Structure 1
């Protein structure tokens, strides 16, 4: 019970708040729970407001907020505002989300190792051991930056990376974890850029050529992807026209039958990164869901349409 002066001891305060004396002492020593005074014997004394502040402290700490954030909230509360509380809780939710994602990746990785044949476990461990949880996509972005034309504008590069670098799912299954690990291994092997030279058809002339090409291809891939999701076979249409126009515009040419024939031959001879796109499709496709199109598979769909058209025209 409070004394005649309205103050209470550390033990009385702890009992009323339902915490330990050690906790009250910790908060006091860290400046979170100011003392009103000290008794003649040097014992801590707390004022009437201490109980409410201590209960708030306990609640904030129960949410897992670190001491420094609790201090911010309490200081803001004294000023009669709660914007800091909103910011702190929102930040804590983001942090928890990241931790949960990491745990889900680790769980799926463990299932991957547990469920594979014993003879494959060493290889699986090596693959997933090279990937952080949640995984980092920076190696994939570096791979593409080395592969893209050197004159590519920063904005165009960023737009391409947004579609070429898959975002790891928050709740993956073992297949997605294995696909991402293999993707990471693919792009981090020695000199991947040297092994995958820029296709001749992508070496657009002029300073604006690369940006024009990749912007046009992105539009064509999006159009083709919609048909792929519906199970449509490659065909001649607006999607193919957009695809060809991207190359023609980038090279300062016109879309003619002769240009389409030349483009089809170039694309057939150009180096490919099929394995990359196969793994990307596995990463972004939800378990049990339809296979999601990628820029690589959309390119193949459009090229198949172009090859069929030029072959028919030649025949």
Structure 2
């Protein structure tokens, strides 16, 4: 209870009791967070004893860096409750929102710290180039440029579900707590997919698989390859050497179904020859592996490295059977598809 005759206090007395400045108390009062009880004859604000507890609550909420608008919602909810408990959800929503915002801020700080270390630790003659690379990215960086690259390259009219599944596998997420080498790899990946092509035609060439068998054929091919890559990834995590098996059978079957062919030894020989001659986006997958990699651990499979593993398994199988009775050489027989991850002639635009 205040010492005045009516049990109320002035704004100065309230500031002294709570340890806040008069300016701060007036600010909260002006914003409607701290209602005044009455005014003196001279027009000065006067507050009830409960104002001390209310100011303590305001100070605590503001100490959590909650904005004034959220503090007002929480206090309004408290005023509506008889038991004084903040159990209606405004506090929970405000804290959850602040945690999300803080997570984004921390992610940006961690990215900037790693980028600064990258520049600090590199040789002086490389700093200008690295500054240009990391300066082209936000902190933390967006994956929009990578997604745009693949969306512009994937077959037209490909089902949205198939596109989303491919992007999930092909677009690496920036690490939440990156190392300097991961920042550099992601920056190089961004530069790789955004630099203009030599002739200015971003989509001048496309894999022939995109134009075979109608609009549905590419989706069939990509769905089949996704299953094969997942199986191959399991083998790669076990550090198994490329070899025939379920993964390779699914890989070949994806091409055979797309082109209406039978999975025969002759088809496998032709497919091996076609895929071996088809340039690849190796640089993209190398950088992707660097972005998601963990030092000391076996590299995590990517669609590109899984494709390489499967192609090596196919080559090994064809070579082992090269003395077969049909005598068909790679490159002969029925035309097979190029890899949907290819580059150059019959593939994605040279970059």
* Same fold per superposition (TM over 0.5): yes
For 1:309 and 1:179, the matched residues in 2 are separated by 35
Q: What secondary structure does 1:45 align onto?
A: strand
1:208 matched to 2:194: no
Structure 2 partner of 1:168:
174
User: 1:252, 1:15 → 2: CA distance?
Assistant: 86
Matched, 1:133 2:134: no
Structure 1 residue runs of 5 or longer lacking an equivalent are none
Q: How far did residue 65 of structure 1 move?
A: 0.9
Q: Tell whether the 8 Å contact from 1:146 to 1:193 is kept in structure 2 after alignment.
A: no
Aligned equivalents of 2:261, 2:93: Cα separation in 1: 54
> For residue 94 of structure 2, what is the aligned residue in structure 1?
88
Greater helix proportion:
1
C-alpha distance in structure 1 between counterparts of 2:5 and 2:73, whole Å:
33
Structure 2 portions without partners, runs of 5+: 82-86, 324-351
| 62-71 or 192-201, larger mean C-alpha shift | 192-201
**Match for residue 99 of structure 1?**
105
Instruction: Give the aligned CA root-mean-square deviation in angstroms.
Output: 1.8
Q: Using the alignment, how far apart are the partners of 2:209 and 2:317 within structure 1?
A: 18
Secondary structure of the structure 1 residue equivalent to 2:137: coil
Highest Rg: 1 or 2? 2
Structure-1-length-normalised TM-score: 0.94
User: Out of 269, 286, 298, which is 1:261 matched to?
Assistant: 269
Most deviating of 154-163 and 80-89: 80-89
Contact 1:224–1:239 under 8 Å retained in 2: yes
1:184–1:98 CA distance, 2 compared to 1 (3 A): same
Aligned length: 315
Moved more, 244-253 or 299-308: 244-253
Could you say which structure has the greater relative contact order, defined with CA pairs below 8 angstroms and 6 or more residues apart? 2
Cα distance in 1 between the residues matched to 2:4 and 2:262: 94
Instruction: Give the secondary-structure state (helix, strand or coil) at the position aligned to 1:260.
Output: helix
1:218 to 223, 226, 244: 226
Give, in whole Å, the separation in 2 of the partners of 1:290 and 1:2. Answer: 74
